[in-house]
């Protein structure tokens, strides 16, 4: 079977499908913010309120990514180094760097070139203030050194194409601190205490800042419980023994929980909405860990899983496709009847670009850098540590 027909060793089809759901939600949000899908022909079939709920809560897709990040990174640490406390910090950092940096650098180069060329959706401006081309230095530096979300809190939404990279800063800070925590916090009760603090602090922080989405959505403390839920779920999943039937039932109920919380929306649920979403996602990951996909799931879930396996490339570059589209076809010039066909074009072009970048740039560079600078680590457990399976958004 080809790569498109069968997930590579070490990947879990159900997790890739959930990542596929998450990236679709994110892409729908961004497209809807640009072209207002609630005024498309879909309103003949669904109420405007329902459409707004479905399309405007896509930030929950990023929350799902964070939970998956914590889960997969924890699982891979144990698989690669034998235990959480056995993590090789330098080796861990190399693997994260090789996976994430080449493509984000490429994305920033593309955005900067398009911004310097005068395309408005790649330029630096907020609230009528033009920060100028020189601000690309600060903006790019903030992404590459993990404080872009903090810069946005200070400056607002100042670059359309770069705004979404706040989540990379949150994940990179997590990747930076997590192995250090594991290195110095060795006792189980200490890890449990730190996890409890994380899941308490985050909703409190979101509650305090519930009037400013730049803080309750994008702050590091606002997202720490999502990552923690994933880490805890990974450890629970390793010790929990469930029948396949029990796993499927738990997975179905977890998906129902995710859907219900999503449809309740972020607005009005700023503090605890993400908490419940994170718990439901963690339960889903526990349920599907080690669960082999059946023939029906492999057939029907393959397209969604493909999107999930390319979620990092899609996340980085779909906003480039959309930014160019909106520059060429402003919202006011987009006919209502063209919104859905253009949505299909947007998804198709984004998927094609993601595939090409992964195939010809990201994957080869990742493999070459690992071969050259990071020695291969044998798995110490039954799990297989693989590059693609170790990421949340990526």
Q: Give just the sign of the alpha carbon dihedral 260, 25, 307, 15.
A: negative
Cβ-based burial of 56 (10 A; exposed 0-12, middle 13-18, buried ≥19): middle
- Structural domain spans, the chain: 13-390
* pTM reported for the whole predicted model: 0.93
**pLDDT of 2 above 60:** no
Q: CB burial class (10 A; 0-12, 13-18, 19+) of residue 381?
A: middle
Question: Cα–Cα distances in Å, from 149 out to 40, 63, 106, 154, 329?
Answer: 32, 15, 20, 9, 29
CB 228 within 8 A of CB 195: yes
- Let me know: does 306 contact 389? Beta carbons within 8 Å: no
Question: Tens digits of per-residue pLDDT, 226-265?
Answer: 999 999 999 999 999 999 999 999 999 999 999 999 999 9
- C-alpha to C-alpha distance for 94 and 96, rounded to whole angstroms: 5
Does position 5 have pLDDT exceeding 60, yes or no? no
Q: Provide the token pair at 360.
A: 């010809």
DSSP designation for 46: S
- Report the sign of the C-alpha dihedral through residues 362, 368, 373, 378, in that order: positive
| Model pLDDT for residues 373-383, shown as the tens digit of each residue | 886 554 454 44
Locus of tokens 């396949």: 244
Q: Quote the pLDDT of residue 375.
A: 66
| Closest CA relative to residue 381, chosen from 285, 290, 281, 247 | 290
**Is 90 exceeded by the pLDDT of residue 271?**
yes
Residue 388 pLDDT greater than 80, yes or no = no
Contact 229, 202 (CB under 8 A): no
| Strand stretches in 107-198, DSSP E | 125-126, 129-130
> Distances in Å between the alpha carbon of 6 and those of 94, 167, 190, 307, 393?
28, 29, 40, 13, 20
> What digits encode the pLDDT tens for the residues 149-204?
999 999 999 999 999 999 999 999 999 999 999 999 988 899 999 999 999 999 99
CB atoms within 10 A of CB 376: 7
Q: Which residue has the tokens 């994305």?
A: 107
- Mapped onto helix, strand or coil, the DSSP state of residue 125 is strand
What is the rounded radius of gyration, in angstroms, for the C-alpha atoms of the chain?
20
CA distance 68 to 182: 19
């Amino acid at each position: 079977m080809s790569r498109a027909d069968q997930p590579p060793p070490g990947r879990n089809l159900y997790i890739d499908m959930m990542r596929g759901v998450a990236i679709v939600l994110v892409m729908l949000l961004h497209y809807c913010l640009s072209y207002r899908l609630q005024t498309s022909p879909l309103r003949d079939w669904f109420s405007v309120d329902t459409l707004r709920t479905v399309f405007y809560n896509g930030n929950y897709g990023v929350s799902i990514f964070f939970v998956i990040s914590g889960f997969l990174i924890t699982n891979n640490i144990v698989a690669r180094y034998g235990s959480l406390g056995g993590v090789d910090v330098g080796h861990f950092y190399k693997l994260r760097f090789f996976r994430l940096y080449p493509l984000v650098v490429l994305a920033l180069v593309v955005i900067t070139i398009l911004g310097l060329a005068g395309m408005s959706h790649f330029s630096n401006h907020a609230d009528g203030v033009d920060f100028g081309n020189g601000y690309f230095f600060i903006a790019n530096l903030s992404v590459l050194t993990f404080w872009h979300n903090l810069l946005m809190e200070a400056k607002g939404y100042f670059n359309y194409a770069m705004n979404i990279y706040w989540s990379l800063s949150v994940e990179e800070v997590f990747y930076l601190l997590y192995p250090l925590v594991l290195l110095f916090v060795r006792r189980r009760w200490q890890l449990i205490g730190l996890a409890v603090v994380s899941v308490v602090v985050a909703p409190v922080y979101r509650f305090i800042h519930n009037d400013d989405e730049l803080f309750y959505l994008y702050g590091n403390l606002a997202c720490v419980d999502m990552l923690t839920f994933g880490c805890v779920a990974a450890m629970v999943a390793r010790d929990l023994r469930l029948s396949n039937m029990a796993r499927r039932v738990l997975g179905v109920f977890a998906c129902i929980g995710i859907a219900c919380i999503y449809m309740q929306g972020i607005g009005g649920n700023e503090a605890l909405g993400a908490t419940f979403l994170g718990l439901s996602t963690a339960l889903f990951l526990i349920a599907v860990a080690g669960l082999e996909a059946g023939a029906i799931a492999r057939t029907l879930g393959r397209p969604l899983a493909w999107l999930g396996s390319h979620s990092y490339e899609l996340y980085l570059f779909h906003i480039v496709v959309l930014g160019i589209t909106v520059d060429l076809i402003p919202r006011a010039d987009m006919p209502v009847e063209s919104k859905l066909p253009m949505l299909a074009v947007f998804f198709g072009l984004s998927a094609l670009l993601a595939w090409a970048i992964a195939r010809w740039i990201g994957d080869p560079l990742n493999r070459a850098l690992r071969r050259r600078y990071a020695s291969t680590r044998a798995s110490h457990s039954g799990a297989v540590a693989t590059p693609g399976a170790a990421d949340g958004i990526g």
